[in-house]
Structure 1
Amino acid sequence: MSERTKPSVTVLGLGRMGAAIAGAFLGTGHRVTVWNRTAAKAEPLVARGALGAATAAEAVTAAPLVIVPLLGPGAVRQALGPAAAALPGKTVVNLANSTPDEAREIAAWVAEHGADYLDGAMMALPQTVATPDGFFLYSGSREAFTSFRPELEVMSPAHYFGTDPGAAEIHDLAVLGTGYAALAGFLHSAALLDSVGTPPEVLAPLAAQWLNGMAAFLPELAREAGSGAYAEGVSTVDLNRVAVGNLVRLSAAGGVATDVHDPLKALLDRRAADGHGQDSFSSVFELLRARNTQGGGTRVRGPVG
C-alpha cells in the first residue's frame, strides 16, 4: 500500500494559535498556505516555507483543508464571506470560540456554499499545540473527521463528538467549566491565605499537588454520577458540608469574599436536608443535572468517537 499523500492545508488567521498551528503543519512537511488580515503576521511563516496568500479567497483556493483559528463567529464570516466562491469541495475546520447555535449557523452557511464542515474547540495553549498536553474537540461531518484525522492530530490529539456541529462547543464549555471552578477556588484560597500573610506562591505547589489527586478521583465521581449509585462513596455530603461550612465561616470572619463557595454550601445543605447526608459528594449531581419536562430525569448522552 502506498503512503498516504499529505494534503495541502490553509490556515486563515495568524494570531498566537493560528501561527502555532501553521508552524505545526510546516513541521510535518505539509504544503501550507497562510492568510492574515494584517499581512505582516505571515512573514515569519513564509520565511519557514509557507505560501502567503494575498486574499482569503486565494488561500481557500490553495488547499482542500481550510483551518480557521479566528477569535469568534463574526471574524469567521468576515474571512470566509469574500471567499465563498472558492468553498465548494473544501473542508472547513472552524476553531473560533462560539456558542453551539453559532457553530450550527456557520455550519449551515458553509454547507450552502458546497463545503464540508467541522467545528473544533481548542483545549490547548499555543505552546501545547502539536504536543500531547493539548487536545481538540470536534463535531460535524464524520466523513471530514475521518478523512482528515491525520491532519487534525498534527495540531493536537483529536476527539470527535458526533455530527451535530454544536456538540464540540457544548463539550468545550463543560471542560472549561471544570477548570474555571478550580481556578476560582485557587484564587479564593490565595485571598484567604493573603489575609494571614501567606503569599500565593506558597499556596500554588500545594494546590497543584492536591488538584492532581482530585483529577485522579474524577473517574470515581463519574462512575457514581453515571450510575446514580451514591451509597458507597468515600467522601459523603455531610463530611464535605462541614468542611465547606468551615471554609465559608473562616472566610467571612477574615473579611474574604465567600461568593465562590456559597453556592456549593447551599447545594450540600439541600442534599442533607433531603435526607442524603450519607450519600457520596457526587450525589450533588442530582441537584444540578437537567430533567425532562415530565420530571423523569432522562439523561441525553452525546456520541463520542
Structure 2
Amino acid sequence: MKKIAGLLFLTFLLNSCDDGNLVQEDIDFEDFTTQKCSTNNIIYKINDKEALILEIPSTNFVNDPTADNSPRTLNISATSNRVVYRFYNGTVSADNICETIQPATPVVVDQWSATSGTIQITTTAVKTTNTTDNSTKITGYNHYINLKDITFSIKNGEQTFRSLPFGNYTTTTTSLPFNFEKVLTKCSNSNTIYDFKSFEAIMLDIDPSLIVNEVTTANSPRTGLIGTSTNKLTYRYFSGLLSSSYFCNATTPTTPTLSEEWNGVSGVSGSNGIIEVTTTTNGPNAFKHTITLKKVSLKKGNSSFTLGDSYILGELFTTN
C-alpha cells in the first residue's frame, strides 16, 4: 500500500512541475489582425478570449526599411516596452484593452507579464506598381514584430520562449502627389531648374551642356546621368504652401517647414537614371527644352521608389 501511495505522490509531483514548455504551442497570434489604441501606444491582437498586448512608443515604428538581418531591437521590461498576455472569461473587444474605464465583462482571469527579452522589428516598404509605366509608389510600411528570448512571470514561476512571433503591424505614410504643371523655371544665378505646386517641389541641378539653344535631331536627344553633384535631382514635400521666393537663394529658407526630402539615385549609363533633353524652336530665337527622366529612382534613407520608364519632368523655355 505504501508503495502505491508513493507512486501516486510521485506522479502528482511530475504532473505539477512546470517544464517551461507546457503552453508554448498555445500562444499563436501571428495570423490575427494587429489593432492599435487611438489614445496611447498600445498595439494588440485578440484571439477570442485571449489578448497579446504590446506597449511600444510609436517612435519605434520608423517609416524606413531596416537593413537585411538587422531588425530594430527594444529591451522588454516591466515598465517600458511592456508585453502582456491576458486570459478573459469571455470574448474580448477593443474596449477591454484601450478604454480607461474598462467594461465590467469579460473579466481578466489570468495575466502573464513579460519581465525580460527583446522586441525585434523588421520594417519593409509597402509598394504599388503602375503596370503601364512601371512607376512605383510607397503606400505604407510593414513592421514585422518578433519577441525574442522573452520570459513571462506566471502563477507557478516563469515561462520562456526563444521566439514568439507577434506578426505584422502596418503604418501609413504621406502620399506624395507629384501633381506638377510641368513648366520649368531656371534660376538666373545657378544651373538649378525647378517646378513647384502647393506643398511640393522638384529641382534639378542640371549640367549646362544639356540646355543648349540648338534644335536636337530626331531620336537624338542630349543625354546625361543623374548624379550626386552634377544633375542632382531633389524632391521636397513641405508642411506649408510654397512660393517662387523659396527658390534660387544662396541659403535655403527655413519656411515653409520641410517634411520630406528625396534625392535621385545615381544613374548607370545605358540602364537607369538617365536624363534626356529634346530641343525644338518656339518662335524666333526662342526654344523649348523638354526634359524627360528615364528609369529614375528617388531615395530617402533606405526607402526608394521609381518614377517609371519615362517621366516628363517638364518644359524649359529659353531665348537667344
Interval containing the TM-score (normalised by the shorter chain): under 0.3
> Greater strand percent: which structure?
2
Q: Larger helix proportion, structure 1 or 2?
A: 1
Give the number of the structure whose alpha-carbon radius of gyration is greater. 2
